[in-house]
Structure 1
Amino acid sequence: MLAKCENIRDAVKSLIAGFWITFSVCSVGVHGQEGNGCGHTVLGTESGTLASQNYPGTYPSNTWCKWRLRVPEGRTLRLLFGDFDIESSPGCSNGSLVITDKNGKSSLGPVCGKLDASQKNVTFKSNEVTISFKSGPHRSGRGFLLSYATDQYPDLISCLQRGSHFSSQYLSVYCPAGCKNVTGDVWGNSEQGYRDTSVLCKSAVHAGVASDSLGGRVAVNRGRSLYTAMSPPLPMESSQKWDHYLRRSCFSAKNATTS
């Protein structure tokens, strides 16, 4: 499938200083999945996001799902687990996740239980992998949330990461496709900015500067501002009044068009 990238400047006005976000995105195609245990899934040629069924609730018993991730020839895959919580059992008999390469050889797993920080960021030398998840007769755990991108984007972040997770005033990160419907708070709006506890990538979609089907690079400036009799940083478009100091974010973007 042909992917076309364009940059068109479209600044979103803000009343305050805060996050400034720039996107450079490409159109993406959709690949297949199979099984009765698949959760939220957006799979594209440059990036995507997938999860076990019911995530972040408990996944059902005796289900399975397979996702095939494939990026263009000449590129390789980078995977990032935003969350991983599969019931621990001997030999992972009560549920597991396995990642295989295009030849069917196991690259990771079976794995269950929890992953430490070093295990959540995985790179492959291949442009294609298959992710297989199965649950057993018992169920205990949230399952998993996983995002991926090509090796062009080593600064890939999870849909769950918030502005407050970063200490730097300025950062540059890559948001994967598919974050809009992942559980996470969006506190604020594009006019007055977004609270620092909002999830970054979902906030960018909410502000109207990114399409959920497109991934994008994001440049962020973080700062504090004083608000008097302004809309509070509540989900979506609340109109209550307040006076307070808060770390907030606002957006300026280069939107992408596709054909």
Structure 2
Amino acid sequence: MELTRVIVILAQCVWPLWTQVIHLTDIYGTIKSPNFPESYPKEIDLQWNITVPDGYQIRLYFMHFDIEPSYLCEYDYLKVYSDSEELAVFCGKENTDTERVPADNVITSPRNVLSVAFRSDFSNEERYSGFEAHFSAADVDECRDRNDEDLVCDHFCHNYIGGFYCSCRYGFLLHSDNRTCKVECNESMYTERSGEITSADFPETYPKTSDCTYRIDNHSSSQPSRSESLVGEQHLPVCSPGRFCSQ
């Protein structure tokens, strides 16, 4: 066993120092090992970089898989990753304690890029037919459920193929960030002798990016009392969402 590991390490040192990279930008296609369905060659270092438009993910699934088995896939292997995130490493013909095969599983990239790297070492004791895989672009549903801290839109989210847009409830305006819903509440005038002031959308959570000013004007009341006339015009601005500042 130790001699085998030494041979593997030496073989890795003399493997080709370059990788053949194939760039794919179609929204669907097929990836095959060299010579498929015949046995693949020795000392292969091949990588497919798949890119689809923004707003899409990439789905990858295998129709055939037969790569030399080895402990933890240290000989021949196929690796799938997105940017620097490793998604899977496969080798062998069936799942074991140390080897994984894709079987009927579908791999979905977290973003619009996906890379598939295939490596074969300096020798194969048997003939292995390699693999055949298919990929396709899949629309990202940006409106799918998320936690309250990561909502795409404040009020309503509308998904379409390749993107999404937000809209607001009646009485609200869409902020310039195209996601946040705000209210226009500047210079609200109160002339009644008594009443109450509430934050926008009370008792619901007040809107983000709120900047409201409430003006209380007692001069317009008929026959004001002495105490009222001393009060005169008052301003109660909302300096930031949910906080009142007196002047």
TM range (shorter): 0.3 to 0.5
- Higher RCO (C-alpha under 8 Å, 6+ residues apart): 1
Q: Given the two structures, how large is their TM-score scaled by the length of structure 2?
A: 0.42
Larger Rg: 2
Q: Given the two structures, how large is their TM-score scaled by the length of structure 1?
A: 0.40
